[in-house]
Structure 1
Amino acid sequence: MLRSLGRTPVTGSDEDPRVAELRTAVARLRRELAVHPAEFPDRGIAEDELASLAAMAAGGLPEVPRLRRSLLLVAGAIGSVSALATRLADVRSAVELFGEPPHRGRR
């Protein structure tokens, strides 16, 4: 009974649950962005980077530096659109499941 502690949650396949979470979060943000009525200057950047994140999630285990770069670009592009803040936070949380960025020491 205690053997299940610390195990990866079952998703019904061999898929990494972090990848499933990322895919879900990205899909939700893409849907909300698609129906958001306001146009803003960096909308195309956000759409392109969300497509990139979706492709990384579809391809299996993504490269963490690429995930973080895309997240930063999406956040910069739509960060001021408060209607999308919750879904953007969901994507950020999904990216963080892959680990914290390495800490760089100051010189």
Structure 2
Amino acid sequence: MDGAPAEGAYDVESRAVRGVEDPRVEALRTAVSRVRRELAALSAELSDRSVAEDALAELAAMAQTGTPEVPRLRRALLAVAGAVGSVSALAAGVAQLREVIDLFGAEVPRARDGG
């Protein structure tokens, strides 16, 4: 292997930072957009399609603000994953979304004052 990311993976380390924008936010936008496109293209009947669409809209809104909250990211991801179940056509996109959200969970907690 040459150290390159797997196909479909988002290599946040190699992305140039524009201004002060967090490259994880750009990765989140990309992943959300991918799953939205794949879900829209899916002709199969999904009983919880609206749940997935609402959760993806919430993720997109958080990415738009530029400062997503990790617990909300994770709840929305669970809603998407639960709504699409084991639909193989969406598996790669949902996996990419999970990987990107995991990047936000890797933040170092801030030290508390007065300890």
- TM-score range relative to shorter protein: 0.7 to 0.9
Aligned partners of 2:80, 2:25: CA distance in 1, in Å? 18
Aligned partners of 1:41, 1:25: CA distance in 2, in Å? 23
Q: Which runs of 5 or more residues in structure 1 are unaligned?
A: 1-6, 101-107
Q: Which runs of 5 or more residues in structure 2 are unaligned?
A: 1-12, 107-115
Question: Among 95, 103, 106, which residue is 2:101 paired with?
Answer: 95
1:71 aligns with: 77
Local SS of the residue matching 1:67: helix
1:51 aligns with: 57
Aligned partners of 2:15, 2:33: CA distance in 1, in Å? 21
Deviations 1:5-56 (A, max 9, x none): xx89523332100111011000011001011111111011000100110000
Identity %: 61
Task: After the TM superposition, list the runs of 4 or more consecutive aligned residues in structure 1 that deviate by more than 6 angstroms.
Answer: none
RMSD: 1.6
Q: TM-score under structure 1 normalisation? A: 0.82
Across the two proteins, how many residue pairs are aligned to each other? 94
Q: TM-score under structure 2 normalisation? A: 0.76
